[in-house]
A and B are shown apart, each in its own frame.
Chain A
């Protein structure tokens, strides 16, 4: 199969979604810039023009409401936030209305199937308000679908699924994933929503991960293999709905779990998975579930502080060895060089 970069896969998925459904449009700040949200919207603009791919004023909350109102009339908007953090301005429309629309009107007002793409920033001094990762607060609310593709194939497949999904859907894309390369089918293959994927099977330990942490977990698993530790990597892909079955089956097999997420621990995805294991797989556990997430403070800017703030492949590998009972200091220098040259 041919390979594409993550950003190319999103671009292709957008074009195919717009080709097969004339109601799909793509809007948000900067979507029609030459930079095209890391190249994800450029081709769609070229193909479908400014009537269906257009820039908006800085109006995150109202534009989310506008997408809801357009969706209520049959449109399939894809709204893009160049950074997650700005989506906080839109939480009223997303949470108080989109999430509740179908239920709160007893099904009589139809549904509002908006798709919101939002980018998670990281490193190079992105700082406290350009690097957050909002899956936990979003997935807290019944009625929202929250997706975090970690591979090019799913970046395309989940976008295609979202554009046919009956619920408002948020897709969180990690900026550090845009240049990851992987196999992507040319046809519009959909990735099922609510299904986790086992990206690497293993017997000794399960690493449940989201988004960029999936790639870090795969690197960590390579290193663990050198220490005869056979790690299974579960890519959650969908935060809500959550694929409990795949996670529990893996835990039952390995008995040891590390959960790695791109956000904080408190009331977050790592805690949710830990609770799931405690409630439904307690007797299969050979060791306490361990969570791995951001340091419990806002994202700093200075390089030395950033280094201490973000967990990475080596952090996962060290924690895994510790859980297994092997000296964590045996982990080699496995972290990928951050090639991002800024500024955004």
Chain B
């Protein structure tokens, strides 16, 4: 079975004509169908407009759930999710909207969860950090650092025991590399050559703590993975094609029975750790405005758009039109979710 992107056949007009989509292009020395780059971009636009819509509506005090926005980190989720199949198992962490959406999760059900409505992804029991969409292979996200690293490893164990070629993927931040559970998990995965892919989103900060207080100077997280004989690769996490290609290599390795992989994706969170503000607007100084501006300049969508244009796959007008169309859909989903029914108080004990 092909991966998530290659499965798609019917595309709306705005995704490019069939001829265009089938064109072969070369990125980072690899031949790819143009459709892959177009769909990766589209996936990131969907994430970006969802997260930015949340940021805009959040101050209304109607989404009463601690929310960690993933703006700026879209390429990691989009690139990895595109490299796996729908029957694989993906797991995420507290900053999970990106991954849920990249797997194809419904914006409406995400919005309903944030609004605490019964149509929410977790029926109003989970909130922003506890999403699920098993039909799309997004098993769960969890707010405790490192939890799903072990759980994904366990799903990989189940796949190995069943002799199927499914793989498990877990996303986590670089702060999880300061938790013990990841080393217990990688060790076990390496011993048993489990089909699991560890995707580290290194955004340089754990809440407001910089790397300098958390990891010794010169730390290479890939070297830690390699010390368990887990092949590791460090990529530009803001380059969606680079992430996709690295993920595809890891997925191929896992499916072929060669065991786990570790991918470190260098990226940057634009907004505050939890909540909708920009740190400098909130008067926080743990990271500089210059650093922030530099990373905004490296915006994954901007880089992807430039690539599409330079390869002749789209022009600025088309890309803006896709964005406008997606934004319209997203806003409509949020409006509908805000009008959705509340869970009944009498149902408090359901799903226990």
| Contact of A57 with B188 in the complex, beta carbons under 8 Å | yes
Q: Say yes or no: is A97 at the interface (Cβ < 8 Å to chain B).
A: yes
| Contact of B132 with A109 in the complex, beta carbons under 8 Å | yes
CB distance from A86 to the nearest CB of B (A): 13
Report chain A residues within 8 Å CB of B139: 72, 109
Report chain A residues within 8 Å CB of B149: 62, 65
Q: Say yes or no: is A102 at the interface (Cβ < 8 Å to chain B).
A: yes
Question: What is the chain A residue whose CB lies nearest that of B189?
Answer: A66
Per-residue 0/1 for B104-145: is the Cβ within 8 Å of any A Cβ (1 yes, 0 no)?
000000000000000011111110001111100001101010
| Contact of A65 with B185 in the complex, beta carbons under 8 Å | yes
Interface residues in A44-76 by Cβ distance below 8 A to B read: 51, 56-57, 59, 61-75
- The complex places the Cα of A71 from the Cα of B158 at a distance, in Å, of 8
> Interface centre among A74, A93, A108, by most B CB within 10 Å?
A108
Q: Say yes or no: is B187 at the interface (Cβ < 8 Å to chain A).
A: yes
Question: What is the chain A residue whose CB lies nearest that of B151?
Answer: A69
Q: Say yes or no: is A143 at the interface (Cβ < 8 Å to chain B).
A: yes
- The complex places the Cα of A103 from the Cα of B120 at a distance, in Å, of 13
| Contact of A69 with B123 in the complex, beta carbons under 8 Å | no
| Contact of A102 with B124 in the complex, beta carbons under 8 Å | no
CB distance from B349 to the nearest CB of A (A): 9
| Contact of B132 with A61 in the complex, beta carbons under 8 Å | no
Question: What is the chain B residue whose CB lies nearest that of A61?
Answer: B181
| Contact of B151 with A65 in the complex, beta carbons under 8 Å | yes
CB distance from B65 to the nearest CB of A (A): 12
Per-residue 0/1 for A97-112: is the Cβ within 8 Å of any B Cβ (1 yes, 0 no)?
1000111111111100
| Contact of B150 with A61 in the complex, beta carbons under 8 Å | yes
Contact of A62 among B132, B153, B156, B161 (CB under 8 A): B153
| Contact of A65 with B147 in the complex, beta carbons under 8 Å | yes
Q: Say yes or no: is B69 at the interface (Cβ < 8 Å to chain A).
A: no
Tell me whether A105 and B147 are in contact in the complex, defined as CB-CB below 8 angstroms, given that A69-B154, A73-B159 are known contacts. no
Size of the chain A interface, CB-CB below 8 angstroms = 36
Q: Say yes or no: is B152 at the interface (Cβ < 8 Å to chain A).
A: yes
Report chain A residues within 8 Å CB of B161: 25, 51, 70, 75
Report chain B residues within 8 Å CB of A96: 142, 144, 147
- The complex places the Cα of A69 from the Cα of B320 at a distance, in Å, of 41
Tell me whether A65 and B153 are in contact in the complex, defined as CB-CB below 8 angstroms, given that A56-B188, A106-B122 are known contacts. yes
| Contact of B123 with A63 in the complex, beta carbons under 8 Å | no
CB distance from B171 to the nearest CB of A (A): 14
Report chain A residues within 8 Å CB of B91: 69
- The complex places the Cα of A107 from the Cα of B132 at a distance, in Å, of 10
Interface residues in A90-132 by Cβ distance below 8 A to B read: 92-93, 96-97, 101-110
Q: Say yes or no: is A142 at the interface (Cβ < 8 Å to chain B).
A: yes
Interface residues in A69-91 by Cβ distance below 8 A to B read: 69-75
CB distance from A184 to the nearest CB of B (A): 30
Question: What is the chain B residue whose CB lies nearest that of A111?
Answer: B351
| Contact of B150 with A69 in the complex, beta carbons under 8 Å | yes
Contact of B184 among A57, A75, A106, A110 (CB under 8 A): A57
Report chain A residues within 8 Å CB of B154: 65-73
CB distance from A312 to the nearest CB of B (A): 38
| Contact of A70 with B155 in the complex, beta carbons under 8 Å | yes
Size of the chain B interface, CB-CB below 8 angstroms = 44
CB distance from B120 to the nearest CB of A (A): 7
| Contact of B140 with A105 in the complex, beta carbons under 8 Å | yes
Report chain B residues within 8 Å CB of A65: 147-151, 153-154, 181, 185
Q: Say yes or no: is B168 at the interface (Cβ < 8 Å to chain A).
A: yes
| Contact of A57 with B150 in the complex, beta carbons under 8 Å | no
Tell me whether A102 and B351 are in contact in the complex, defined as CB-CB below 8 angstroms, given that A59-B184, A93-B150, A110-B134 are known contacts. yes
| Contact of A104 with B125 in the complex, beta carbons under 8 Å | yes
| Contact of A106 with B120 in the complex, beta carbons under 8 Å | yes
| Contact of A97 with B126 in the complex, beta carbons under 8 Å | no
Contact of A106 among B123, B152, B155 (CB under 8 A): B123
CB distance from B106 to the nearest CB of A (A): 12
Question: What is the chain A residue whose CB lies nearest that of B170?
Answer: A69
- The complex places the Cα of A97 from the Cα of B132 at a distance, in Å, of 14
- The complex places the Cα of A69 from the Cα of B160 at a distance, in Å, of 13
- The complex places the Cα of A92 from the Cα of B143 at a distance, in Å, of 11
Q: Say yes or no: is B350 at the interface (Cβ < 8 Å to chain A).
A: yes
Q: Say yes or no: is B157 at the interface (Cβ < 8 Å to chain A).
A: yes
CB distance from A88 to the nearest CB of B (A): 14
Report chain A residues within 8 Å CB of B148: 65
| Contact of A107 with B126 in the complex, beta carbons under 8 Å | no
Report chain B residues within 8 Å CB of A56: 188
CB distance from A264 to the nearest CB of B (A): 28
Interface residues in A177-202 by Cβ distance below 8 A to B read: none
Q: Say yes or no: is B177 at the interface (Cβ < 8 Å to chain A).
A: no
> Interface centre among B130, B150, B188, B352, by most A CB within 10 Å?
B150
Question: What is the chain A residue whose CB lies nearest that of B124?
Answer: A106
Tell me whether A107 and B350 are in contact in the complex, defined as CB-CB below 8 angstroms, given that A62-B184, A92-B144 are known contacts. yes
Report chain B residues within 8 Å CB of A101: 140
> Interface centre among A63, A66, A72, A73, by most B CB within 10 Å?
A66
Contact of A105 among B122, B152, B157 (CB under 8 A): B122
24 contacts between A and B (CB under 8 A): A57-B188, A59-B184, A62-B181, A62-B185, A66-B157, A66-B185, A67-B154, A69-B150, A69-B156, A70-B157, A70-B158, A72-B155, A73-B89, A75-B161, A92-B181, A97-B142, A102-B351, A105-B132, A106-B121, A106-B123, A107-B350, A108-B123, A109-B140, A110-B134
Q: A57-B191, A65-B153, A105-B126 are in contact. List 9 more A-B contacts (CB 8 A).
A: A57-B187, A57-B188, A65-B148, A66-B157, A69-B155, A103-B351, A107-B123, A108-B134, A109-B134
The 10 closest A-B pairs by CB, nearest first: A69-B154, A65-B150, A106-B123, A62-B184, A66-B154, A69-B151, A59-B184, A73-B158, A107-B351, A106-B122
Give B residues with C-beta under 8 Å from A.
89, 91, 120-126, 130-134, 139-140, 142, 144, 147-159, 161-162, 168, 180-181, 184-185, 187-188, 191, 350-352
